[in-house]
Amino acid sequence: MFGLGMSEMVLIGIVALIVIGPKDLPGMFRTMGQFTGKARGMAREFSRAMEA
């Protein structure tokens, strides 16, 4: 996933926990998930348009 290993993912998680805080972290992950879903949908739609 994006060329990141497990150790890099853990480091990013720890930094996010320190910077953002434990209360706001679930909301941030939810927002990131929604953005990722929209980006995947747009990429899928673009691929289908190029195939057609």
In-domain check, residue 10: no
In a domain, 48, yes or no: yes
Q: What is the pTM of this model?
A: 0.60
Identify whether 39 is part of a domain: yes
pLDDT at 52: 82
> Is residue 4, in this structure, part of any structural domain at all?
no
Question: Angle at CA 12, nearest 5°, toward 20 and 7?
Answer: 155
Q: Is residue 9 part of a domain?
A: no
Confidence at residue 2, expressed as pLDDT on a 0 to 100 scale:
64
Angle, helices 6-20/25-51, rounded to nearest 10 degrees: 130
Q: Residue 12 domain-assigned?
A: no
pLDDT of 47 reads 93
Whole-angstrom CA distances from 28 to 1, 38, 45, 49, 50 are: 19, 15, 26, 32, 33
Q: Is residue 37 part of a domain?
A: yes
Q: pLDDT tens, 3-45?
A: 778 888 889 888 988 988 888 888 888 998 899 999 999 999 9
5 DSSP 8-state letter: -
- For residue 6 the two structure tokens come to 């497990």
Total domains in the fold of the chain: 1
pLDDT tops 60 at residue 1: no
Asked whether 17 and 25 are in contact (CB, 8 A), the reply is yes
Give the residue numbers spanning the domain of 35.
Answer: 23-52
